[in-house]
Amino acid sequence: MARIRPFHAGDEPALAEICLRTAAEGSDATGLLEDDDLWAHVFVLPYAARHPEFAFVVETDDERLVGYIVGVPDTRAFEDWFHDQWWPRFAHRWPEPAEERSRQDGIVRYAYGRRGGAEPYGDDHPAHLHIDLLPEAQGQGWGRALITTLTDALRAQGVTGVHLAASVGNTGAIAFYPRVGFTPIPSHPGVQAFALTLT
């Protein structure tokens, strides 16, 4: 029987693998970039590093991780930390490209551009999250349970709202978030953002 448990140090490789295998609009992104490791270093590992208290995983009875949710209580503060402290550690590995010639270039440029206030979604809903489940864990209620686990933890810390953004091509995610209480909010082209008030 699978269970949800808090993130533990040492879970990082499993989180990175889940991120990679779901990064292509919910499907396996292996080989889509020149360096598969980039996905996790932008979209999951910094969250677990900065706010492990808001990271939770789905663990099977044979101790495999098949899903996670990670969140931050204050998006502006997190994005400033990402810009000032997290991403500079990887500048030698992923230098900023002068122009966008590939999908990897686009993600790297996005990483360099992250900073507090760059996105509007945190103004009314200061927290944000990322959630991913491997196909074997989907359709069993784990997504809803992870959302509940994280939002309960955020509420306990007095956080008033949470947001997230999904690619418009990720039709499964676009359908899922309203079912667990999120409301679509105005978004950039190619992205649909959602928000949930926690008070």
CATH number of the domain where residue 185 is located: 3.40.630.30
Report pTM.
Answer: 0.95
Token representation of residue 97: 């490209």
Tens of pLDDT, residues 21-46 = 999 999 999 999 999 999 999 999 99
Tens of pLDDT, residues 42-92 = 999 999 999 999 999 999 999 999 999 999 999 999 999 999 999 999 999
Tens of pLDDT, residues 101-116 = 999 999 999 999 999 9
- Which of helix, strand or coil describes residue 184? strand
Number of independent structural domains in the chain: 1
- Which of helix, strand or coil describes residue 177? helix
In the 3-class helix/strand/coil scheme, how is 43-99 assigned residue by residue? Answer: HCHHHHHHCHHHEEEEECCCCCEEEEEEEECCHHHHHHHHHHHHHHHHCCCCCCCCC
Question: Could you tell me the residue range of the domain that residue 166 belongs to?
Answer: 3-197
